[in-house]
Amino acid sequence: MIENIRLAFSGIWAHKMRSFLTMLGVIIGIASIIAIVSTIAGTNQQIMQNLIGAGNNSVTISLQQGGGSYWMDGGAPAGVSVVSDEQREEIRALDSVLDASFYQSRSWVDGVSSLYGTFSNGSLYGIDTHYLDTVGYVVSKGRPFIEKDYTDFHKVVLLDEIAASALYPEQDPIGNMMEIRGEPYMVVGIVRKADNFKPVINSFEDYLNYSQEEYGTVMIPSAVWPISFIYDEPENCVVRAASTEQMSTAGREAAEIMNQSIGPNVQDISYKAEDLLERARNQQELASSTNSLLLWVASIALLVGGIGVMNIMLVSVTERTAEIGLKKALGARKSAILTQFLTESAVLTSLGGVIGVIAGLVLSQVISRMSGTPVAISVPAIILSVGFSMLIGIVFGLLPSIQASNLNPIDALRRE
C-alpha cells in the first residue's frame, strides 16, 4: 500500500498541471461545502447567542392577550389577581429554576426627567430584591435597593449606564433627584449587565427584539410602583433556568403556576413564557434549510469533479497499457493492478480534498469579512469532507481500475 501511495504521488508530480486540473472540480466542491457549513454553523451560533444571550439562561413570563402583551396602561385586567407569595415560592422551588423575580414594567416610557436631561423610549421597571441577580445585573456605582426601601416605601431609583447618560450628561447621578410622572425620586445606584454580551443586529426582527435595550432602563422598588402607576397590577416574572436546555421547561412550569391567578371566566388572557430556545431552534432550522439548497449546488461540483477523475484515470489506463501488460506478464495479480489504480485515484481526490478544505477556510473568512456573516469552523465537517473526497476517488476510479486489471497481458504488450 505504501508503495502504491508513493507511485501515486510520483504520477501526480510527473503530470502536475493535468493533476491539478483533474482535482479542480473536487477542490471547488469541497471549498464550497466547507464555506457553506462554516457559515451555517456561525449563523446558528449567532442566532442562539442573540436570543439566549451570554449564558444567564433567563426566561420571561408575561401576561398575554391574544397574540401580544397585555397593555397595562388600560387598567388591570378583571379576573386576574396578583401572584401570591405561595406561588412565588413554588416557582423558586422548581427543579429547573435557580431563581425567580417578579416585576412590573413599562416600555417606551415618558414622564421621566431630571434637571439635566430627559429619558424617553426606554424601559421602566418596578423590581423586587431578586431581580438584579436573576437577570444578571451588578451595581457599578452606589448601592442596590435594600429591604428598608421596600418596607418604608422609599422613592429611590437605579439607572443603567444608558439612562444615566441621558438623564445626567456629564453629571454624577448618585444622590441627585429626578421625576417619574411628577413624583420625586432619588438616584441611589448605577447598574450594568454582568456580562459584556452585545447582540448582533442583522435583521429587522433582531432590531425589534433588542432596540429597547439600546434606550436604557430605569428601575424603582416594586413597593412604590403604585404611586406612579396601578395598584394590584399583575406582574411579569423572569426565571433563571438551571441550564440552557431547561429554559423551555422552566418557563412553561412557571407560567402554569402563575396561571392559577387567573379566574375561570377570563377569556383570551394568560401568562405565557417567551420560549427563546424554541425560537432559536426555529430560526436555525430556517437558516439551515436555506443553506441546504446551496449545499446541494456545491455537491454538483463534486459530482463533476468525480467524473473528471474517472475520465483522467481512463486516459491513464490507456497511456500505461504496456506497463500494465508487463506487470501482468511478470505475475502481477488482478487485485494488485486494481489496488494500484484505486490508490492513485483516491490519493488524487484526497489531495484535492485537503486543498479544498484550506481554500474553504480562507473563503469562509473572506465571506465573513465582506458580508459580516459570522462563521464557525466545523472540525467534523472538515474530516467528513476529506473522507468524502477519498470516497469519490474510489467510486469514480473503480471503473478505470477494473478496466486496467482486466487487460490481457499479451494484448496489452502487443498494443505498444
The residue extents of the domains of the chain are 2-50+282-415, 67-267
Reported confidence tier of residue 292, pLDDT bands at 50, 70, 90:
low
- The residue length of the chain stands at 416
Contacts by residues 384-388 (CB-CB < 8 Å, ≥ 24 positions apart): 385/30, 385/33, 385/34, 385/353, 385/356, 385/357, 385/360, 386/30, 386/350, 386/353, 386/354, 386/357, 388/30, 388/302, 388/353
Q: Which of 109, 61, 145, 103 is nearest to 217 (CA)?
A: 109
CA atoms of 94 and 89, how far apart (whole Å): 9
- pTM exceeds 0.85, yes or no: no
pLDDT tens string 238-273: 999 888 778 888 888 999 999 998 888 888 888 988
pLDDT tens digit sequence for 131-161: 999 988 999 999 999 999 999 999 999 999 9
Please say if the pLDDT value at position 213 is more than 60: no
pLDDT in tens, 353-393: 889 889 888 888 887 788 776 777 777 778 877 887 888 87
* 3-class DSSP assignment, residue 81: coil
The secondary structure of residue 196, as a DSSP letter, is -
